[in-house]
Structure 1
Amino acid sequence: MSIRHVRTTRRAGAAALLAAALAFSLTACGGDDGTGKENTGSSSSSGTGKDQPSKGGDGKTYPDKSKVLGTFKGPKGVDLIVYGAKRDSGGFLTISGEFKNTGTEDFTVPIGWQGLEQDVAMHGRSLGAMTLVDSKEKKRYYVLRDTDNRPLTTTDYADPIKANTSVEIFAQFPAPPTSTTEIGIQFPGFATGTIEIS
């Protein structure tokens, strides 16, 4: 067999191996589940209870505002109002509420709200800096991330928050043990306090 023939055979083999590896990696790592929708790896809970967030006519999800669990004072007249702290069967705790600008001026959202983790911050505005504190179990809980490090919170909300307007928000955390009935909320620039878990 000539040297030229050996080189040609080796190149063909290497090209075939590369093509097979590329096809395998596209199949294994693809986000498409065959339905035409991207699979982000995040989980969501479903429920039909009356205190679950409801869909508005504009397609957005709004929290049930019939009960206020806590109001946390922030900078320049901005309040964090929490309406819900619900466990679900998947082991998650979802905090829902709103930022309400009670001031007379627009409020520019601080970069610190998205947290200090570069992998999270690269996805833009979020509530990645929010944490929950379980003083009974002496544990701190951070906002959950999906497989692409996107925080499971409201993202890309309005900035600035206009005077006398509000922004609906949510943030999802690992659920504390069922024996924990109260949890502390910490968020940069806001007063800290506890809320009841439902």
Structure 2
Amino acid sequence: MKIRHVGQLRRAGAAAVLAAALAVSVTACNSESDAKGPSQTASASSSGGSDKGGQDAGGKTLPDTSQVIATLKSDEAGIEMVLHSAVRDQGGFLTVNGEIKNTSGKRYTTPIKWSGDEQSVARTGRSFAAMTLVDSKEKKRYYVLRDTENRPLTTTGFQPSIKAGESLPFFAQFPSPSESTTTVDLQFPGFPNAPIEIS
């Protein structure tokens, strides 16, 4: 009886150890997948649905700089807007990517007027909400889209200044013009109007 009892205890102990090991293994797997999931989602959403571009060491989204479709000179010397793409998305959107470059040799304070005059978007802080696209052919003007909480679908909350020699990457999302429209005029405070091709 004693030998049988000891055997049963050993088997019960081994089963308990095995169950504990499996529980730890499952927990570790779940933790690992949880850690990967949100970062992958954040990366996909921050890239604006594009598979081009990337992120810097600080996790900031960088535009696709493989091409330049337009370069606009600001009213202020040494400040340029470089446009890299204007791409139609399958969801009926048009996304403009670019960057503001400061080649002036001194710190540049970004104007408040870039955010537009709407009080409803003022809470998002600094943004590119004042950017518009004009379809001269269809005689339509397109404004930066808003989400369900009335926040502009554009780069927001950036620093109030750009250091000398640095740039500020940005994106702005608009309703997509009709398929027959291949060129629109981009308008933004402090820069000349510029025709850009839609890809």
Q: CA RMSD in A?
A: 2.1
**Aligned residue in 2 for 1:113:** 114
**Offset of 1:159 from its aligned partner?**
1.7
Preserved CA contact (<8 Å) 1:45 1:88: no
Number of residue-to-residue matches in the alignment? 156
**Aligned residue in 2 for 1:184:** 185
Residue by residue over 1:75-114, the C-alpha shift from the partner in whole angstroms, topping out at 9 and shown as x without a partner, is: 3221111001011110000000100011022111111000
Counterpart residue type for residue 140 of structure 2: K
Larger mean CA deviation between 55-64 and 137-146 belongs to 55-64
How far, CA to CA, are the matches of 1:97 and 1:54 in structure 2?
13
Preserved CA contact (<8 Å) 1:45 1:90: no
Name which one, 1 or 2, has greater alpha-carbon Rg. 2
**Aligned residue in 1 for 2:75:** 75
**Aligned residue in 1 for 2:158:** 157
Identity %: 55
Matched, 1:46 2:49: yes
Preserved CA contact (<8 Å) 2:53 2:65: no
Matched, 1:61 2:61: yes
Larger mean CA deviation between 74-83 and 111-120 belongs to 74-83
Preserved CA contact (<8 Å) 2:62 2:169: yes
**Offset of 1:53 from its aligned partner?**
3.1
Give secondary structure in 1 for the equivalent of 2:109. coil
How far, CA to CA, are the matches of 1:59 and 1:45 in structure 2?
14
**Offset of 1:54 from its aligned partner?**
2.8
How far, CA to CA, are the matches of 1:120 and 1:98 in structure 2?
21
How far, CA to CA, are the matches of 1:119 and 1:69 in structure 2?
32
Structure 1 residues 47, 185: closer, same or farther in 2, change over 3 A?
Answer: closer
How far, CA to CA, are the matches of 1:174 and 1:75 in structure 2?
28
Residue by residue over 1:125-157, the C-alpha shift from the partner in whole angstroms, topping out at 9 and shown as x without a partner, is: 000100001111110000001111111110111
User: Please, which runs of 5 or more residues in structure 2 have no aligned partner?
Assistant: 1-37, 39-44
Higher helix share: 2
**Aligned residue in 2 for 1:129:** 130
**Offset of 1:46 from its aligned partner?**
3.0
Counterpart residue type for residue 191 of structure 1: P
User: Please, which runs of 5 or more residues in structure 1 have no aligned partner?
Assistant: 1-35, 37-41
How far, CA to CA, are the matches of 1:124 and 1:54 in structure 2?
24
